[in-house]
Amino acid sequence: MRINCPCCGERSLEEFTYLGDARKTRPAGDAAADVWVDYVYLRENPGGRHSEFWYHGSGCQSWLVVERDMTTHAIFGVKFARDAAIAAVVHTS
């Protein structure tokens, strides 16, 4: 598997660190307990497309959002996490 970093170009997997589901948003500190349980513990864990955080630690040190197929490992898109977050805010506002 190779990830096409928007800054560094296509790079091998060992340069990256995985964090997990990028669609989870951190609840407010005073949110209800079940909202926090959902955020910390529950996962969609889809068999197909999955939007996820990767950190390019051995490259540009950017946080990325990678759209990837869980079964085939095909990668559909890579963008900076910052841009993805801004897009999400624009989309919901």
Partner 1 sequence: MAKSPQSGTDRYSIFTVLREALRGHTGWRPAWREATPKPRYDVIIVGGGGHGLATAYYLARRHGITNVAVVEKGWLGSGNIGRNTTIIRSNYMLPGNEPFYEHSMKLWEGLEQDINYNAMVSQRGIINLCHSDAQRDAYARRGNAMRLHGVDSVLLDAAGVKLHLPMLDFTNARFPIVGGLMQPRAGTVRHDAVAWGYARAADRLGVDIIQNCEVTGIRREAGRVVGLETARGFIGANRVGLACAGHSSRVAEMADLRLPIESHALQAFVTEGIKPFIDTVVTFGAGHFYISQSDKGGLVFGGDIDGYNSYAQRGNLPTVEDVCEGGMALMPQIGRLRLLRSWGGIMDMSMDGSPIIDRTPVDGLFLNAGWCYGGFKATPASGDCFAHLIATGQPHKVATAFRLDRFASGRVIDEKGMGAQPNLH
Q: Which stretch binds partner 1 (CB under 8 A): 38-46, 55-63, 75-83, 85-93?
A: 38-46
Angle at 81 between CA 53 and CA 73, to 5 degrees: 40
- Which of 21, 39, 20, 41 has its CA nearest to residue 29? 39
Rounded distance between C-alpha atoms, residue 17 and residue 55, angstroms? 5
Q: Does 58 bind partner 1 (CB under 8 A)?
A: no
CB of 29 to partner 1, least distance (A): 17
The binding site for partner 1 (CB under 8 A) comprises 1, 12-14, 18, 20, 33-34, 37-38, 40-45, 47, 50, 52, 54, 70-73
